[in-house]
Amino acid sequence: MAETEGVRRRDFINIAAVSAAGVAGIGIVVPLVSQMSASADVLAASSTEIDISAIQPGQAIKAVFRKQPVFVRNLTPHEIEAANKVDVASLRDPQTLEERTKEGKENWLITMGVCTHLGCVPLGAGEGEVKGEFGGYFCPCHGSAYDTAARIRKGPAPKNLEVPKYEFSSDTVVKIG
């Protein structure tokens, strides 16, 4: 009996020690979380202006928006045609090129450069990079292939590359965010 009580007492001491550690842990976590949410607010307010005047048809650039890569691509007429030829109903994430671009500016494809599988940066925006079998972007991590509208066509990624909120400030400047 005395033995059992001893065990119980030790258990209680252990539990008390764990609880104290738990409380201390919460004390540390809270300030970190509030710092994180403060910077999230700052991030939410930020936007990025990009000069697109030097991007020729068939070229793309990588920019940074809220610490993540963004691809700005000037599609050729051939790439636009290829995107428009696809049967949208057959797509995993059905969207037309028109829905993914601004009216009258279908050649400007602006997407996040973040694979929708596990977040790698796909290839295809840099000069000489492989674009994959659908001519858009190719994620080297697990082989997701995107087409010329940056729609997912093959591989494990579930969604098209995300189109961020953006607007044309002028014919040559795009404001993202």
Which residues of this protein are in contact with ligand FES, per CB under 6 A? 115, 117-120, 139, 141-144, 155-157
List, in order, residues 6 or more apart from 160 with CB less than 8 Å away. Answer: 93, 95, 100, 111, 116, 146, 149, 150, 151, 152
In the complex, minimum distance from the CB of residue 132 to ligand FES, in angstroms, rounded to a whole number = 11
Q: Which is nearer to ligand FES, 115 or 149 (CB)?
A: 115
Catalytic member of 142, 165, 170, 173: 142
In the complex, minimum distance from the CB of residue 135 to ligand FES, in angstroms, rounded to a whole number = 17
In the complex, minimum distance from the CB of residue 140 to ligand FES, in angstroms, rounded to a whole number = 8
Euclidean distance between the first and final Cα of the chain, in Å? 69
Closest CA to 102 of 75, 69, 68: 75
DSSP string, 66-86: TTEEEEEEE--HHHHHHHHHS
Q: Which is nearer to ligand FES, 91 or 141 (CB)?
A: 141
Residues 45, 112, 133: CA angle, nearest 5 degrees: 175
Q: Which is nearer to ligand FES, 6 or 143 (CB)?
A: 143
Catalytic residue flag (residue 117) = no
Q: Which two tokens stand for residue 11?
A: 């258990």
Q: Which is nearer to ligand FES, 60 or 113 (CB)?
A: 113
In the complex, minimum distance from the CB of residue 69 to ligand FES, in angstroms, rounded to a whole number = 13
Which amino acids are annotated catalytic?
142
